[in-house]
Amino acid sequence: MSRRVELIALLIADAVAINIAYAAQYHARFKLLWFGTPEVYPIAVVPAAIVLTVFWLTLFFFFGLYRERYADSRFDEIVSIGKVVTIGSLILVFGKYIDALSQESARSAIFFYWFVVASSAAVARTVVRSIQKQLILRGRGLHNALIVGWTDQVEHLYREIAAYPEAGLNVVGAVRLDQQTAGGHGDELDQGETAILAPPAKAGHSTLRAVETLPSLIDELDIQDVLIALGANDHEALMEVLRVCDGRPVVLKLVPDFYSVIGGMARTEHMYGLPLIEVLPSPMPAWEQSTKRLFDVVASIAVLIVGAPLWVLLAILIRGTSPGPAIYRQDRVGQHGRVFTMLKFRTMHRDAEAKTGPVWAVENDPRYTSIGRWLRRTRLDEVPQLINVLKGEMSLVGPRPERPYFVETLADEIPLYRRRHRVKPGITGWAQVKWGYDSSLADVRQKVKYDFFYIENMSLRMDFKILLRTLRTALRGEGH
């Protein structure tokens, strides 16, 4: 959907949600008397509803909830709504409701109103964003994008974007800069769909003159996003691109070539206006690390105790359906390269790798037992790893630990692969919810990108997002 339609839909959805919340709060307080007999009754219901609607919409606007969040996470938006509603509820408490509530019922009434506003707004936003996402996946309301970069990087980036339609980017053109030869129009990346422009270009000043075509292309192709795919040493070309695009109604997204080299190792900071790159920053603040560890311990104990009868039953079924132990032990590489013994419910026949040696599991792997295949789909085979979590060898969320054999192999194939060992490995992770099981080196390369992204953006909020997605996968039985 267009930006205008999106904004109108959000305003209508929020207004409806706010009025539903007000009606629920009014009915609970003045009809059902859930919070005791009110000391003050409203003089007029409709004007109060209008005032509250204007108040909340203004507050949402003030805190940026109507900024464009194109193809962003719905979970992140719900978290933002929760924060704003908390602030708004506190304002209302001290500005309006505090004198109208008895001391005994104040806390319950305030919490109830906060809950109905937050939940109604969250549901409304989720509906709008879900419709928007479905339209994007059907090719409607996409952002027109233009790629600027050297020939090989342009085509690589094009393939990356094409692999993720949920990003909502429609590459309608590219300025392909050739450092070696001059030429006219190049071949198209995708016949019939994408017009690729390759202006005459050589190294040096002729390259910069070619970039001058960008402003006209932005207007002609109605571009919303310019993706810059230049290398680490292309400072002159990069600055020229930024110069000619300055002030244009587009979003500039830098995709530097050196990101693949230092990905997950840098964080940009500003000191007195000077941008600096902090190498190997601490992944999380100290207080978040402590909270993460506390949650790991509490959640692991709760799951192991509450589900104890089920875990015992699964162990009996595993032993009864195939020879071998119920718990499978395997050496894995953890934080700081330390090797530990990871526990799992056994899902394969005993000595499954006796003839083949270490190999990756594949979908419909013949080595799976009958119950093992079901355990994999529901992710229940990972439950014994909660013991590893209690021992401090793992966390609930983090990059998956790999076997020493594969670590040595992959470290030679993938630059900075050992970067993953800076944090505790996890039972689930960003790579697991975004990608399937490893079946080839290409899969591993892709998952490493997701692991680096997680390490760069570690936070409690992201952990909860990953846990919720993992739970959904387990309930649907979509694991491999």
**Domain 143-257 of CATH type 3.40.50.2300:** no
Question: For the chain, what is the radius of gyration of the CA atoms?
Answer: 27
pTM of the model: 0.55
pLDDT-above-90 percentage for the chain: 25
Categorise residue 357: left if φ over 0, alpha if ψ from -120 to 50, beta otherwise.
Answer: left
- Mean pLDDT computed over 53-62: 90
Q: Which single residue is written with the structure tokens 């978040």?
A: 288
Q: Residue 141 region, left (φ>0) first, then alpha (ψ -120 to 50), else beta?
A: left
Q: Which among 480, 273, 279, 241 has a CA at the least distance from the CA of 364?
A: 480
What digits encode the pLDDT tens for the residues 129-142? Answer: 888 888 888 888 88
Indicate the domain borders of the chain. Answer: 3-137, 143-257, 286-476
64: helix, coil or strand?
Answer: coil
Q: What is the pLDDT of residues 105-135, one digit of tens each?
A: 666 778 888 899 999 999 999 999 888 888 8
> Is residue 257 pLDDT above 60, yes or no?
no
DSSP codes, 254-309: E--TTHHHHTTSEEEEEETTEEEEEES--SS-HHHHHHHHHHHHHHHHHHHHHTHH
Interval 223-239 mean pLDDT = 75
pLDDT at 65: 87
Residues in Cβ contact with 73 at an 8 Å cutoff, skipping those fewer than 6 apart = 465
Question: What integer is the mean pLDDT of 164-171?
Answer: 80
pLDDT of residue 64: 81
Compute the distance between CA of residue 231 and CA of residue 255 in angstroms, rounded to an integer.
Answer: 9
- For the ranges 48-62, 177-191, 238-252, 273-287, the lowest mean pLDDT is seen at 177-191
Instruction: End-to-end CA distance of the chain: give it in Å, rounded.
Output: 35
Q: Can you give the pLDDT at residue 339?
A: 93
Segment 430-441, tens digit of pLDDT: 988 887 666 667
- In 334-406, the DSSP E strands lie at 339-345, 395-397
Question: Which tens digits make up the pLDDT trace of 409-420?
Answer: 888 788 778 878
Residues 210, 201: contact at Cβ < 8 Å? yes
Query: What is residue 101's three-state secondary structure?
Result: coil
pLDDT value for 269: 46
- What pLDDT is attached to residue 1? 67
What are 278's strand-pairing partners? 267
**pLDDT above 70: residue 63:** yes
Q: How confident is the model at residue 398 (pLDDT cuts 50, 70, 90)?
A: very high
Q: Which amino acid is at 164?
A: Y
314, pLDDT greater than 70: yes
- Residue 298's identity, in one-letter code, is V
Across residues 145-164, what is the average pLDDT?
77
